[in-house]
Amino acid sequence: MSTVYVISDSHYGHANLINKMKGPDGYPMRNFDSLETMNEHMVKAWNSVVTKRDVVYHLGDFCMGEKSLEFAGRLNGMKYLVMGNHDIHGAAKYLKYFNKLFGAAELHGYLLTHIPAHPDSVFPRYDGNIHGHLHGRQVGTPGYLGVSCESVNYIPRTLEWCIKQLETQHA
């Protein structure tokens, strides 16, 4: 039986993230000494939990630069991509590596998006919104969970883990 995972905002090949994106503390959010180190760390982290028969929903901004799409070929699992604002290379190029592309997806009562959806689009139709785009920041409102790779230590999280996090918000 396969496990379903989610993660977002890998930005393979995006060198500017290493030096320019800062956390609330002013330090780089991606503390890597090189682009190659960052890319390889993300491949290793993904493959450390995802098997070939698992399913991964990547919630947007997979890579920067068409050449960096090739990293998807090194990642375990059946991959589904919810398109993000930086996923601009044309569907055919993504479909070489991803089983399906979405603008948004629904899974077990949860809305999966790249950018957090407006509350009127989420509630009461869905139990919550699992999203990316915020790179380590959270919406701060119950019912939303950001899974940008910086938020999850670059390791895809199971859908079950995400649901537990969302349920804890209401406790």
Closest CA relative to residue 135, chosen from 3, 14, 2: 14
Could you tell me which of 48, 81, 64, 23 has the C-alpha nearest to residue 156? Answer: 48
- Name the CATH superfamily housing domain 4-169: Metallo-dependent phosphatases (3.60.21.10)
- Per-residue pLDDT 10s for the chain (171 aa) are 799 999 999 999 999 888 778 877 888 888 899 999 999 999 999 999 999 999 999 999 999 999 999 999 999 999 999 999 999 999 999 999 999 999 999 999 999 999 999 999 999 999 999 999 998 888 989 999 999 999 999 999 999 999 999 999 876
Look up the pTM and report it. 0.95
Nearest alpha carbon to residue 127 among 157, 156, 164, 158: 164
Residue with structure tokens 């950018």? 115
Domain residue ranges in the chain: 4-169
Q: The tokens of 163 are what?
A: 């649901």
The count of C-alpha atoms lying within 13 angstroms of the C-alpha of 62, restricted to the half-sphere facing its C-beta, is: 29
At 33 the three-state DSSP class reads: coil
